[in-house]
Amino acid sequence: MSQSAAHLVDNVIPRVPVRQWVLSLPIPLRLLLAAQPALVTPVLQVVHRVITRHLFEQTGVKADDADSGAVTLIQRFGSAANLNIHLHCLVLDGVYRRTDGEPVLVEVPAPTDEDLQALLHKIISRLMKLLTRRGVLVEEEGEGSSYLADAEADSDVARALRPL
């Protein structure tokens, strides 16, 4: 384990259950985030918000009364050194309810397949809205298909892009 990883484990992440959430993106979005790295942060914020809200719902604790915690590694390459922007999020498997004394961790059960499908649907929906608002995604009327905007501006990127 590297020094920075050891520091993270020993000094940042509490000794409580932690779950790894990995978000892999379709190739066109990987290329988009590589070409426009400023979009990575808002994409990550959407993912964190969806997972955190799920944790609050699962515990029944209101967001005003608790805190969550996560650490994310933005990985830019796959095992074959190919462009593959994806997110590895270590998320506390519960929320810390604030009390007059020490905060208390309220754990959550493992997500079901149905939970994961619902969370993925929310993440996809919110990412599409985000990218449309930012003007990098255009939804075709009546088609239900979305396309990256201005793909023709870069012929290499345009060849790799296909409808989402």
pLDDT digits (tens, 9 = 90+) for 93-123: 999 999 888 888 999 999 999 999 999 999 9
pLDDT by residue (tens digit) across 19-68? 999 998 888 888 888 889 999 999 999 999 999 999 999 999 999 999 99
Look at residue 118 in the predicted model and tell me its pLDDT: 95
Rounded to a whole number of angstroms, the CA Rg of the chain reads 18
- The conformation of residue 39, written as its DSSP 8-state character, comes to G
Amino acid sitting at position 26: P
83 and 30 Cβ atoms separated by less than 8 Å: yes
Mean model confidence pLDDT for the chain: 81
Measure the CA–CA gap between 93 and 49, rounded to whole angstroms: 14
60 or 15, greater pLDDT = 60
Predicted TM-score (pTM) of this structure: 0.78
Cβ contact 146:163 at 8 Å: yes
Kindly indicate the confidence band of residue 161, based on its pLDDT and cuts at 50, 70 and 90.
Answer: very low
Write down the H helix ranges in the chain: 3-7, 27-35, 40-59, 113-133, 155-160
Q: Are 11 and 131 in contact (CB under 8 A)?
A: no
pLDDT at 86: 84
Q: What is the pLDDT of residue 74?
A: 85
> For position 49, what pLDDT does the model report?
95
